[in-house]
A = this chain, B = another copy of it.
Amino acid sequence: MTSLGPLAGITIVDLTRVLAGPYCSMMLCDLGARVIKVERPGVGDDSRHIGPFIEEKSAYFISLNRGKESIALDLKAVEDRALFEGLLGHADILIENYRPGTMDKLGYSFDDLHARFPRLIYAQVSGFGDTGPLRERPAYDLVVQAMGGVMSLTGQPGGSPTRVGTSVGDLAAGMFACAGINAALFQREKTGTASKIDVSMLDSQVAILENAIARYQATGEIPTALGSRHPSITPFDSFETQDGNLVIAAGNDGLFRALCKCIGREELFTNPDYESNASRTANQAELKRTLEETLQTKATKAWLGILAEAKVPSGPIQNVAEVLGHPQTLARNMVVQVDEPGLENFCVAGNPIKISGVEDPSSRAAAPELDANREALIREFGL
């Protein structure tokens, strides 16, 4: 075991604010990279001012920036520009999520920087991307969730389009950017060439539309929100029990038979209306009612035991407190503590990328105060 992740030795200069970019650099930090956050003097990352707050610190900011360093620089001021460029001379990666065009005006376009720092990888995360008619439009998570189609697919049938309850508009872009940056690091190591990565939040939403694109083309019908059920696999839905609800995902004939058997409704498996996944999907509303007649006779916990025994994929619909306290979540070290001065037991999500031979620590260093690392960085790099 080593404490070093695969990106040990890699230094990132991180100009990003709020969510998509900081989520990306947080992933890179968890993979072992050093992240130097460059913030606006006086104000810092906007997310320092977004609640919820604990002891006057933004819990939101901490959860995205634990383990990073901070230096406040005004990229329009001569002295700070010299410091910034000095940092770039020691960096492997620059990440920014300004509106496209902003870095060009500062004299820090990829072409400008590539000429001076030929090994610097440049990653840009923006709302709509570095090209196209909407290039300079501002975007937030909600805007790309709305424009990207996922809201039209989420919600109850016939109800309002619904935002996904976490910021997948930002997070998906951060995750794609992270994959792209790692690929660019590999490419640089192999070929010596450093490239620019351009990831947009809207593109990332298109990329996660998944089977909706295929369905639309195959049927000509515009996919709509279906509650919790799957469009083409049945039964694959949430169901009411005596005291609540649960989900069952019986994705093939074998699992459907196992489901019917374990709940004592074997006759459903031989019913011609339910003989194939296609017929079960065609008759899904009736099948759901029929299954619920039985499921409503016992409590959720009892059914979950029976279904698990029969190896039918199923589970409780857990709230955030339940998932954070779940034995599997804890066994996987997916809730880690932040060593934040003055805050005891503040936890954040752990690293979902587990790597052999790499330590998966159960805590993270604190999030930096604004400009906390200025003097140390100046000394270390002789700036």
| Closest B residue, CB atoms, query A247 | B146
User: Interface size class for chain A?
Assistant: 35 or more
A59-B217 contact given A199-B352, A206-B349, CB 8 Å threshold: yes
Which residue of the partner chain, among B130, B142, B164, B328, contacts A202 with CB atoms under 8 Å? Answer: B328
- Most B-side CB within 10 Å, residue of A132, A141, A179: A179
Stretch with Cβ within 8 A of B (4 or more), from A68-76, A329-337, A368-376: A329-337
A11 at the interface (CB under 8 A from B): no
CB of A70, distance to nearest CB on chain B (Å): 19
Stretch in A79-87, A267-275, A285-293, A312-320 touching the partner: A312-320
A29 contacts the other chain (Cβ, under 8 Å)? Answer: no
A135, chain B: closest CB distance, angstroms: 8
Is A299 an interface residue, CB under 8 A from the partner?
no
The digit string for A49-65, where 1 denotes a CB below 8 A from any CB of B, is 11111100001101100
**Bound form: Cα–Cα A261–B5 in Å:** 50
Known: A146-B317, A154-B162, A217-B347. 9 other contacts (CB 8 A): A60-B214, A142-B247, A149-B320, A152-B317, A153-B320, A161-B245, A195-B356, A199-B354, A209-B349
For A3, the chain B residues whose CB sits under 8 A away are none
Q: Determine the chain B residues whose CB is within 8 A of the CB of A146 once the complex forms.
A: 238, 246-247, 315-318
In angstroms, Cα B140 to Cα A311, docked, is 12
- Contact status A319-B278, CB under 8 Å: no
